[in-house]
Structure 1
């Protein structure tokens, strides 16, 4: 009788779980506003501070220089710290680091602050995913992970609609002041209402492996996990998806304004159109995956093949956009469709990793996945900047050459996934070893 109230703490509680999902959705909204704001103010910032496209691409990529390192470091240590406090520390850091950018008089200050901001934001996604995993069982994870991914879309939508208007009326610097205030507001809300999930990880391990909870603490060498074909395929898919996300966040506004000839306000509106298209596609594919599992599909079918086909179609659409002489409006529509499909790899891959790896190593593995993906975020903007500078900032071919590079990477990653991504096989290979070791 005394155990019942304690055991209830480790049961799935839908209302509380979805309340925390809503809070983390808002966190992702602020997170992606922080990421995209530099790209949205690229044109006036480069003009005022006399930056070349290559210099701006270097600064934009600088956001990711420490991003991956911090994601990995925190991933290995945050099992000792409650996710609630880590998220609060990140929110406060994001708010504080916006202000020096608003007051910056040169490129070095912006580069330094963006590097530190990247370090503070690096662990955000893996910590948020792990925080949700403490609230949802495995069979119910696809949809909430897809939902917090929509915070990114909402942030991008708000950026496209509001940042050009703010820049036009008060100057590009005001955007960073507003973002600092938004980060501070979320931090206050989280300090008041954020809670740590209590869904027992031991029961999750039991449901995944089919062994008693006492066996869950067994650990595998990370070299074995990271050499598994399915894990490697997911790392490549994440790398390719983050490559195109990095390109879009940094260079899409300039592509619309300089390459396709729209005004800054209209470019922001078209940016919003691109972002809106992502939201229903990501949620729809996550929902479809969950429904397929409920109707007896394997995770190979409902997760692996589904995301690989989505990523492949995304790459093909980017190629069509770049290699055909379509009018500007049709190019935006193709870009919107392509951009809506590839991010599925970033939301579904952590779900598959949770299926395959030991529960007590899941946090670190998702952090490695995020870090590897965001290495692409450091490289892609700089390469795009070189291409834009080589062709000229008003020549659409420079931007579209960058899209082709990303498209080739997407198609290659999807073929690798279709060939080697077998979650159930890797689950038995990795989890079976933990059973033997016990």
Structure 2
């Protein structure tokens, strides 16, 4: 029997109000989790010009520094994804947060290039599973037709993190120095860990979600069966091409606004609010639209696959386009779209995995997808850094790098359109399991 997107005729038990409130409290904590996560990632970029001057770094070395965050990102995503089926997410997420805090303590004072890289490598290992595990925890509290919305809020948390951090951390760095920003991040991390340990009980439990109006018939299948489905492969391709944009936004966009377009540090920090603000609104809106489509009987192939692919392709077109415009409002609009539409796609795309994969194996699969995405995170800063450093001038280097990135995103979106089909793959998994029973 295959999964359908249409509502059933059977009576449906309404979610208990207390459970529903608890679910949204969990989502609120996960939004804060991703807020801190993205602020931790972004602070080096906000201080990029100052760090390069203080440590005497070239563009290639700064690209290496930003790339180092992703060297063990995949390993962390895989390890903690595997661990999520054995350790409660209450303790796992709190432990990750405290690890993030520990990596920032050495950066409170004078630091060498080697120590800075070492701290970023360890931070990357501990932040590798963050997005996957946050989505896993959110999905466990909601029925299928509301998962994309919950995932949209989690995705928005990442954008809100930088939306708030951009002016705040930039001001702190401008007022004092880049070391001072880590005092704030450390305090935020400790406070969140305490709140999560108090309120985060039962997160990640497979039976936490209330009864759904949509039939869901996922099957407990071996990983080798799950990973061979078009939906998982297609979302992996989409995550890789989409995260390329996210990485460039974190690692290079603040520097590009200053070096490439000539904005001062304070103005660049303010302009960074545009893509992050649009991404936050877009992620929530995209999740709501996807959920409405599913609840109205639209196939998940369209509501999850085609929709998320269209968002990533739109981001790619915008990225290639803004390099062709002169400095001004139209260019800033395309920059905002280029670095926000892909973020809006994340929650929708990962809800397709929740449609196909049972809860007890979802954390590992989401961890694998994060690991694949991290490859682009490791490569993208290096590619752009060497492109800028080896070109006749920085403007030309930035143009070539961003145009190539836009093409990559468009190609990845096209591939995903042909592969992602949750209804088909649930039926396929069921047949393969029954054939081996």
Cα–Cα, structure 1 residues 8 and 413, in superposed 2: closer, same or farther, change >3 Å?
closer
Distance 1:17 1:282 in 2: 19
**Structure 2 counterparts to residues 102-113 of structure 1, below 5 A:** 102-113=108-119
Q: How is 1:321-336 mapped onto 2 (pairs within 5 angstroms)?
A: 321-322=322-323, 324-336=324-336
1:232 Cα offset (Å): 1.3
Once residues 82 and 230 of structure 1 are traced to their aligned partners in structure 2, the CA distance between those partners, rounded to angstroms, is: 27
- Structure 2 regions of 5+ residues with no counterpart? 1-12
Give runs of aligned pairs for residues 18-417 of structure 1, distance below 5 A: 18-197=24-203, 198=205, 200=207, 207-209=215-217, 218-220=220-222, 222-322=223-323, 324-391=324-391, 395-417=394-416
The offset of 1:86, in angstroms, is 0.3
Could you tell me whether the CA contact under 8 Å between 2:23 and 2:141 is conserved in 1?
yes
3-state DSSP class of the match of 1:79?
Answer: coil
User: How far apart, in 2, do the equivalents of 1:17 and 1:203 lie?
Assistant: 10
Q: Decide whether the 8 Å contact of 1:201 with 1:359 is kept in 2.
A: no
1:29–1:89: structure 2 CA closer, same or farther, 3 Å change rule? same
Give the superposition deviation at 1:383: 0.9
Distance in 2 between residues matched to 1:379 and 1:390, nearest whole Å: 16
Contact 1:12 1:199 in 2 (8 A): no
Per-residue deviation, 1:180: 1.2
Q: How does 1:414-433 map to 2 (within 5 A)?
A: 414-433=413-432
Specify whether residues 8 and 79 from structure 1 end up closer, same or farther in structure 2 by C-alpha distance, changes over 3 A only: farther
| Cα offsets for 1:381-411 (capped at 9, x unmatched) | 111111121237x732222222112111111
| Counterpart-to-counterpart distance in 2, 1:359 and 1:92 | 26
1:239–1:376 CA contact under 8 A, matched in 2: yes
Displacement of 1:38? 0.8
1:28 touches 1:151 (CA, 8 Å); kept in 2?
A: yes
Q: Is the 8 A contact 1:136 1:199 kept in 2?
A: no
Structure 1 residues 150-192: Cα deviation after superposition (integer angstroms, max 9, x where no partner):
1111111112211221111111111112111111111122222
Asked if the contact 2:157–2:280 (Cα under 8 Å) also holds between the matched residues in 1, the reply is: no
Structure 1 counterpart SS, 2:262: coil
1:201 shift after superposition:
7.1
Q: Which has the higher helix share?
A: 1
Unaligned runs of 5+ in 1: 1-6, 211-215
The answer to whether the 8 Å contact 1:64/1:115 transfers is yes
**Contact kept? 1:239, 1:373, Cα under 8 Å:** yes
Worse-superposed segment, 68-77 or 222-231: 222-231
- Secondary structure class of the residue paired with 1:136: coil
Q: Distance in 1 between matches of 2:327 and 2:129?
A: 40
**Which deviates more from structure 2 when the two are superposed, residues 191-200 or residues 39-48?**
191-200
How far apart, CA to CA, are the structure 2 residues paired with 1:200 and 1:8?
15
Deviates more, 1:28-37 or 1:409-418: 409-418
The offset of 1:12, in angstroms, is 8.7
CA distance in 2, matches of 1:24, 1:196: 14
Structure 1 residues 279 and 257: alpha-carbon distance in aligned structure 2, compared to 1, 3 A threshold: same
1:56-111 Cα offsets, whole Å, 9 max, x none, are 11111111111111111111222111000001101111112112123242110000
**Mapped contact 1:311–1:411 kept (Cα < 8 A):** yes
Give the TM-score, by structure 1 length.
Answer: 0.91
Task: Report how far residue 202 of structure 1 moved.
Answer: 11
Residue 434 of structure 1, CA deviation: 2.9
